[in-house]
Amino acid sequence: MSNPISGRGAARERLLLAASDLFCKQGINATGVDAVIAAAGTAKTTLYKAFGSKEGLVEAVLEREGETWRTWFVKEVDALPGSPTDKLIQLFDVLKKWFAEEHFYGCPFINAVAEHDKDDDRMRAIALRHKSVVLDKIRELARESRPDDAEGLTHELALLIDGAIVAALITRDPNIADHARNAAARVLSKS
């Protein structure tokens, strides 16, 4: 079967797509470079020319995955009806859609930090850059919902989000989002 994507830029794209799929499904440490190049149909030298190392590939995958997910998440939350408080509760419905996807393997950032050396701050820094964009979206709504403690509300909801992601990964039950939604509604009712 021929691949319609060809050329140098296409090889980089195939590497990113293959690595994203394999890293998310099997784990970063469990996926060797040989598996990535086999899935992408490229040479090992192509991977090293494009990314420098496996770690460079990991970072590129995380940046791409994060940007794609954040764009989707913010667009979905912005499209929710109702007040900022309503949106903060309903954002768990957005997460439920994600949890129900066939290829839901949890948060690549949580997974990457969990897999890597805890003394190496690179993965943590990448994860925090991702998280800061998500927190900014929550904070924007929290400022209108609970102006006297927007920061506290932002972090309370972020903890519910992270917990729901991990619980959905472990249980493979997208309905976990409903429990997180109910908890968010209780948190917000105390505003």
pTM (predicted TM-score) = 0.90
Q: Which tens digits make up the pLDDT trace of 95-147?
A: 999 999 999 999 999 999 999 988 889 999 999 999 999 999 999 999 999 99
- Rounded Cα gap, residues 38 and 32, in angstroms: 10
Q: Which tens digits make up the pLDDT trace of 61-92?
A: 999 999 999 999 999 999 999 999 999 999 99
Query: What does pLDDT average to over the chain?
Result: 93
- Rounded Cα gap, residues 165 and 180, in angstroms: 10
pLDDT of residue 8: 53
